[in-house]
Homo-oligomer: A and B are copies of this chain.
Amino acid sequence: MRHIDEDTITQAVIARHTAAQDARLREVMTSLVQHLHAFAREVRLTDGEWLKGIRFLAECGRLCSDRRQEFVLLSDTLGLSMLVTALNHRKPSGCTEATTARPFHDGDAPCSDTRAETPLAGTEPLYVRGRVCALDGAPVAGAEVRIRHSEENNTLTSAADGTFQFKCPVPAPHTIPHDGPVGRMLQALGRHPWRPAHLHFMISAPGYERLVTHVFRSGSTYLDSDAVFGVRRSLEAEWVRQEPGPTPDGLTSDLPFYTLEFAFVLNTTKGDTPWMPMQ
Contact = CB atoms under 8 A, between A and B. Distances in A.
Interface in A3-54: 3-6, 9-10, 12-13, 16-22, 25-29, 31-33, 35-51, 54
Nearest to A14: B79
Residue among A81, A86, A233 facing the most chain B CB atoms (10 A cut-off)? A86
A58 interface: yes
A39 B2 CA distance: 28
A78 interface: yes
Given A35-B36, A58-B71, 6 more contacts: A12-B229, A16-B189, A37-B80, A37-B83, A44-B87, A58-B64
Question: Do most interface residues of chain A lie in helix, strand or loop, or is the interface mixed?
Answer: helix
A271 interface: no
Contacts of A36: 35, 78, 80
Contacts of A80: 36-37, 40, 50
Nearest to A55: B278
List of 5 A-B pairs having minimum Cβ-Cβ separation, nearest first: A61-B61, A19-B190, A6-B86, A13-B79, A35-B35
A11 to B, nearest CB: 10
11 contacts: A3-B231, A3-B232, A19-B191, A26-B189, A32-B43, A37-B80, A50-B75, A51-B276, A54-B69, A58-B69, A61-B62
Contact of A190 (B20, B50, B75, B225): B20
B231 A4 contact: yes
A191 B223 CA distance: 47
A72 to B, nearest CB: 6
Nearest to A191: B16
A57 B51 contact: no
A41 B28 CA distance: 11
Interface in A175-198: 188-191
A54 B75 contact: yes
